[in-house]
Amino acid sequence: MTALQGDERASLHDGGGDVSELASGHGRATGTTTPSSWWLVDAEQRVLAGPFGSRLDAALAELSSPGVEVAPLYPAHGVRRDDGTLASRFSPDDRAWLAHLSDQLDRLADDWDALIDDADPLTGLVCEVAAAVAEAGLPLHDCAGRTESRQLGGVCLTPAPGEHGVLVSWTQHDRMALGRVRGHAADLAAQDVMNHALAGVLAAFGFELEPFGDASGHIVRAAGSPSGLTEWE
C-alpha cells in the first residue's frame, strides 16, 4: 500500500465540506476534527488523514494516491485526540454488523436455551464461532425454526458440553436434505465437502478444532486469538 503525499488533497466530500489536507509521511494529520468520523490511521492508531465521510472514502483516498511503499494505513472510525491518535467509536457499519450477528444468534437451536449464561464458557465460544461464520459470509441454519428461512440450510452450531466445545456442521437446503432431489450420494458428498470447508475456515481464523463422529463434523474447543482487536473507550 502506498503513502499519501503531503501536497495532495482529497477531493471527497463528507457532507459538511472537503476533507482535511492529507498528512505527509507519518506525521500528525491536520484539519478540523469532527466527532466520530472515518480516518486513515497507522498500526499505532495515529491519525494520518481525514476526516472522511465513509470507510470507502478513506480507503479510496489511500489507494488512489501514488507514493513510496511505507507501513500500511487503515480506515478507522472514531474521534481524533489532541495528541493525534484515534479514540475508536462504533461506526454505522459496526452497528449494522452487531444487528446482523444478533439476528444470526437468534437462529441457534433450542438446545442452547438452558446453556446461555455469561458465566458459561460455551456461551462466549458459540458467539465467537457464530461471528467467524458470519464474517466468512455464511448463514447460520435456523435450527429452531424461528424464521421463514429454516428450509434454506446453513451452519449448525450444536452445544457439546460433554466435549467442552461446539459441534459445527453444515445443513443443506431442504430440497437436498429432505427431498434428496440429487440423490442420497450427492447429499452426503455436499455435506462432507461443506463440513471440511467450514473446518478450514475456522482453522484459518485461529480456532482449535478436531473431527467429531463419522459425519465429518468438527468440535471447536477454543476460540481464535486474532491480532489487532479494537479497544473501545
Model pLDDT for residues 176-224, shown as the tens digit of each residue? 788 888 888 988 888 899 999 999 999 999 999 888 877 788 999 877 6
pLDDT band at 232 (very low <50, low <70, confident <90, very high): very low
Domain ranges of the chain: 1-89, 92-222
pLDDT band (50, 70, 90) for residue 8: very low
**Residue 159, preceding bond cis, omega within 30 degrees?**
no
Give me the pLDDT at residue 224, please: 62
In this predicted structure, what is the pLDDT of residue 166? Answer: 92
Q: What is the pLDDT of residue 225?
A: 52
Q: Which has the minimum average pLDDT: 18-32, 84-98, 154-168?
A: 18-32
- The predicted pLDDT at position 14 comes to 36
- Which three cell numbers, joined as nine digits, stand for 104? 444470526
Q: How far apart are CA 208 and CA 116, in angstroms?
A: 21
How large is the average pLDDT for residues 73-98? Answer: 90
> What percent of the chain has pLDDT above 70?
77
On whether the CB atoms of residues 160 and 221 are closer than 8 A, the answer is: no
Rounded to 5°, angle at Cα 79 from 75 and 80: 85
Helices marked H in the chain — which ranges?
A: 55-63, 92-105, 121-135, 174-177, 184-204
Q: pTM for the complete prediction?
A: 0.68
- Model pLDDT for residues 122-133, shown as the tens digit of each residue: 888 999 999 999
DSSP assignment string, 2-66: BPPPTT-B---B-SSSBPPBPPSTTS---S---SSEEEEE-TT-BEEEEEESSHHHHHHHHHTS-
Reduced to 3 states (helix: H, G, I; strand: E, B; else coil), residue 122 is: helix
d(CA 201, CA 25): 36
CB count in 10 Å sphere of residue 103: 13
What was the pLDDT predicted at 228?
A: 42
Q: How far apart are CA 153 and CA 138, in angstroms?
A: 10
pLDDT at 201: 94
Coil/strand/helix, residue 114 = coil
Please state which of the ranges 25-39, 73-87, 112-126 shows the lowest mean pLDDT. Answer: 25-39
Alpha-carbon gap, residue 136 to 213, rounded angstroms:
25
Instruction: Tell me the three cell numbers of residue 39.
Output: 480516518
pLDDT, position 5 = 42
CA 210 to chain CA centroid, Å, is 23
Cell match 465521510: residue? 53
